[in-house]
Amino acid sequence: MSEADSTAAQSADRRLYVPHNDGWNAIVKPNATKEYCYYRNPDEEHFHLLQIGEIYIEKGGEKVCMNCAIRQGILTDNRMHWQQPKRSRLTLPDAF
Ligand SMILES: [Zn+2]
């Protein structure tokens, strides 16, 4: 519960952006076919299964879940990312 609470507090804005949006597509997994995220969590040995109805992004054959995409810097919740193309994860107290 505390983990969910802190996550919600840190990012109440649920909108996500792809700073380098060449070739990436957002997909809602339409079936239960076994497909795995391209990346693994740092503390895990296995590739995690993408669930039916899960939103993930894809480029070529590379499927990436939201968690990994954010961790890899493919996605950002920084709405001002286009003003800071080189540092998408930089958090400023207030732009300008
Ligand atoms: Zn993943």
Q: Which residue has the tokens 């961790």?
A: 71
Domain boundaries, the chain: 20-83
Q: Is the pTM of this model over 0.85?
A: no
Distance 93 CA to ligand 1 centre (A): 29
For 43, 66, 77, 90, the CA distances from 22, given in Å and listed in that order, are 29, 17, 18, 21
Distance 53 CA to ligand 1 centre (A): 15
Which residues have beta carbons under 5 A from ligand 1 (an ion)? 37, 39, 65, 68
Give the CA dihedral 49, 1, 91, 43, nearest 10 degrees. Answer: -40
Contact 78, 91 (CB under 8 A): yes
Distance 47 CA to ligand 1 centre (A): 7
Give pLDDT tens digits along the chain (96 positions).
455 555 555 657 789 999 988 899 999 999 999 999 999 888 888 888 999 999 999 999 999 999 999 999 999 988 888 786 554 445 555 544
Distance 16 CA to ligand 1 centre (A): 16
Distance 96 CA to ligand 1 centre (A): 34
CA 48 from chain center: how many Å?
A: 14
Q: Phi, psi (5° rounding) for residue 17?
A: -135, 150
